[in-house]
Structure 1
Amino acid sequence: MGKLRIKRIAVGMAVVAAIMLGLSWESAPVAAASDSVTFDMATVQANGKSFTVQWTAIDLLDPYLRVMPVTAAGGTGHVESFADMVERSSAVAAVNGTFFDAYEQDESLRHPNGLIVESGGFVRSGDNVSLGIRTDKSVLVHRLETQLAFKVKHNQSVYTVTPWGTNTYYGDTDLDEVVAYTHHYAEQIDRQGGVKVVIDGGRITSMTEEAAAVPENGYVIYVGHSTNNDRNLLPHLHEGDEVEVEALMVDGSSSATETLAQAWETAIGVGPKLLSNGQVDIDFARDGFDDPKITSAANARSFVGVDGSGRLVLGTLSAATVEDMAYALVELGLSEAMNMDGGASSALYVEGAMKRPPGRLLSNALVVKRFDAPQVQVTVNGGFVHEYRGFIQQDVTMVPFRGIFERIHADFKWNEQERVLTAKRGTTELELRPDMLEAKVNGKPVQLDQSPVIIDGHIYIPLRFVAETLGATVGWDSGLYRATLELK
């Protein structure tokens, strides 16, 4: 392998200011972050050839940053311009995502082909070499497999529904099809020829032959009218049945099976793998590739990986084979790396500049978003509140009301007309109003550190208020910006 030759274009494109974390019930260390998003460009000599590489490195310990996949605005299966995905997600960095059916004539059927996980939930099921970001903010490139099951409780019996996939398109010819859909796929599921089973709030809320709206944090399971499903599956499902959702991720490298929400934040499956432990690790047969466009052809390439400091790396490469790219990334000092969709799909954006525009509309992308306030992970009795992150506002940690109170099985109600939120758990009754610094606990006024605030339709309240009114034990991890609540 040749020596590394680099032309430095720009370094340190973003400097994130340090803040003081103000938890009034306990002190916490200062979280400082600088150069959390950097950009570099290099001319690299590798495998006897010369390549131009552009890449951005991301420090995931910066609490202002989150990495997430983005699918086209129309839902899974549609396409959108990369620039629009970047703008819509307020990204500070982005790279194109997994393979998709780019040559499908129907633009509503250009489905992604790799697994996708966002905020601890499945956007698309799959079994692929994947970039994974765990809840401890570590980054890895392993083979990952999604598993989803619905345990339906009726009277004293439990029946398990295991869908073929999540937000996955199998065509319209197999009547035996059972598919789980979330809001990432579409706002409603109107497929004919089957029953739509709506699951929301841990229950089957409806079963219909008509179009069914997809709950914000729930599922619609499509069950095709095959003889098998009509006889053996549908009779076990009833409106009102309790449903336990079991979402798991299987790590092919460690053979560990873990609860998705507990262990994983983000993942995207593409491949093949390029590097392991800083060495070239390409095995097309192992990773399921035999297309010459991947195995031997030279083309524009994009990649993701991990550098020696544990930072996430997103980048593109001038015309190269997959093997060429792997050797070039060894020269750049990456420890782990994976190929992304390439050719006309290759794209890279960093801090306001389109470093490489793609040549086509895309199905999905992987983006880095910078928030105005530090983002706070929240766990309740060991379970992550993935659907809503907390944040720090004027030195006060604000946490999602619904995400916490649902997990402790409290009753609550929002009165839109009077703009008042009421909740009850045991003998404790709460009353809160957005933008008001006074709450009521069992009818008595209580002053808040910050007034409750509504963001994207969800109410956030001060963490201290939750701790004091519910008697929660609260812990704080300053490295991960994670608040842990334990309630009896």
Structure 2
Amino acid sequence: MFAASATALQAGPKQFAYLDEDTGRTFVPLRLMGEYAGAAVDWQPEAERIVLRKEGKEIVLHLGRSEAGIGSEAMPLDAPPFALDGVTYVPLRFVGTALGLSVEWQKEINAVRIAQQDGDVRLPVVPLGSIRTDKSPIVHESRTFQVGGKSFKAQIITISLMDPRVELDVVPAGGKIGRTEALSSIAERHGAMVAINGAFFDAYTESDIKMPYGWIMNDGEVLNRGTGEVRATFIYDKNNLAEVADGGDMPGLIREGNIDGAIQAGPRLVRDGKVDLDVEGERFRDPKILTSSGARSALGITRDHKLMLVTVPAATIPQLAEIMRQAGAWQAMNLDGGASSGLYYNGKYVTTPGRLLSNVLIVKLER
């Protein structure tokens, strides 16, 4: 995850890196070079000229021009800077090397890690031209999957996480951990376009207080602490860079300070595009998880930074894992299920839960 020194980057609009698939080059916002790399940035709009200064070194680039200067030396560029939607992007490899940064590609989450001596930052990587604000970033569909000779009809809502209009939140019922509330009520109260049930909770206690199990975070704040669970956990940062983390890593990841939201549930279903189940290793003992078929909820993350929220009326955990793989998840995990399984979209239920819920993952869409 991120080191503490990268915290300042997480304020404001999402930041990501663009991949030009024609050249294979990656571009990052010019702003990043000032905020993170510690360079003085001089943008001269009339000349479309960029000057970066750091530790006595001066780097000069021009928009659309295939050459750059480092000090008095002119150097060719096969990936010239460009401007898009009011943001100036510069070639990461060239500028990063010139400023003494280490650049690492992180395949498992389709991100680039940029490091210097006092910390690092990760940015999601998206293909140039893939973010289309003229289209809705949220799509609902019903799909039928064949697993082991059986048919399963799933409800799937797919969210483009890099779209600037998309915001994720993890919210407790009634605004406080331990309360319960209808899924639709939670969604409507928060102005959500999409909502799905989240972490397991003590649904069968006679007490009015029904506590969730495991880590729950929102806006960087820990709302509910894990108690040593190693179960899979969905985490994301301010850029909506999302992943399924191993639950045992959560204390260290939280100390690093840049998780914006988290829901711990499990088990993990898919890792790197392949079914990856270790139900007993995640310390599940309930037959409802180990062997039974039941209503299921799950989330998946695609390689191109889309979030899939899925419900299936009756499936075992291995069947659900195969469904998520076939649906295109690169990473995936199970959420609470049974009577808790519920999915809300655009003002109505797609899957109606059979009980009040403790906590939910919501998606808000800025107009």
* TM-score of the aligned structures, taking structure 1 as reference length: 0.47
Question: 1:264 is aligned with what amino acid?
Answer: I
2:166 aligns to what? 65
1:259 aligns to what? 256
Question: 1:315 is aligned with what amino acid?
Answer: V
Tell whether 2:241 aligns with 1:138: yes
Question: 2:256 is aligned with what amino acid?
Answer: T
Deviation per CA, 1:53-83, whole angstroms, max 9, x where unpaired? 1111111112222111111115111111111
How far 1:40 sits from its partner (Å)? 1.2
How many residues are paired up? 240
SS at match of 2:232: strand
SS at match of 1:136: coil
Asked if the contact 1:133/1:265 (under 8 Å) is kept, the reply is yes
Residue segments in structure 2 that go unaligned for 5+ positions in a row: 1-42, 46-82, 86-130
Alpha-carbon distance between aligned partners in 1 of 2:234 and 2:252, rounded to the nearest angstrom? 13
Question: 1:354 is aligned with what amino acid?
Answer: Y
Residue segments in structure 1 that go unaligned for 5+ positions in a row: 1-24, 148-248, 252-256, 373-488
Q: How does 1:339-418 map to 2 (within 5 A)?
A: 339-372=334-367
Question: 2:163 is aligned with what amino acid?
Answer: D
Tell whether 2:311 aligns with 1:309: no
Asked if the contact 1:125/1:146 (under 8 Å) is kept, the reply is no
Deviation per CA, 1:24-68, whole angstroms, max 9, x where unpaired? x99873274223111111111012211011111111112222111
1:120 aligns to what? 220
How far 1:145 sits from its partner (Å)? 5.1
CA RMSD of aligned residues (A): 2.1
Alpha-carbon distance between aligned partners in 2 of 1:279 and 1:250, rounded to the nearest angstrom? 26
Question: 1:120 is aligned with what amino acid?
Answer: G
Question: 2:144 is aligned with what amino acid?
Answer: T
Identity of aligned residues (%): 35
Q: How does 1:294-305 map to 2 (within 5 A)?
A: 294-305=289-300
Alpha-carbon distance between aligned partners in 2 of 1:121 and 1:144, rounded to the nearest angstrom? 17
Question: 2:217 is aligned with what amino acid?
Answer: V
Change (3 A) 1:259 1:308: closer
Asked if the contact 1:40/1:55 (under 8 Å) is kept, the reply is yes
Question: 1:29 is aligned with what amino acid?
Answer: L
In structure 1, which of residues 38, 42, 52 is the aligned counterpart of residue 143 of structure 2?
Answer: 42
Q: How does 1:65-464 map to 2 (within 5 A)?
A: 65-73=166-174, 75-107=176-208, 109-126=209-226, 127=229, 128-144=231-247, 249-251=251-253, 258-260=255-257, 263-372=258-367
How far 1:250 sits from its partner (Å)? 2.3
Change (3 A) 1:44 1:146: closer
SS at match of 1:43: strand
2:62 aligns to what? none
Alpha-carbon distance between aligned partners in 1 of 2:145 and 2:44, rounded to the nearest angstrom? 50
Alpha-carbon distance between aligned partners in 1 of 2:276 and 2:132, rounded to the nearest angstrom? 35
Question: 2:304 is aligned with what amino acid?
Answer: S
Asked if the contact 2:160/2:306 (under 8 Å) is kept, the reply is yes
How far 1:259 sits from its partner (Å)? 2.0
Question: 1:284 is aligned with what amino acid?
Answer: V
SS at match of 2:194: strand
Asked if the contact 1:144/1:250 (under 8 Å) is kept, the reply is no
Asked if the contact 1:131/1:305 (under 8 Å) is kept, the reply is no
Change (3 A) 1:85 1:26: farther
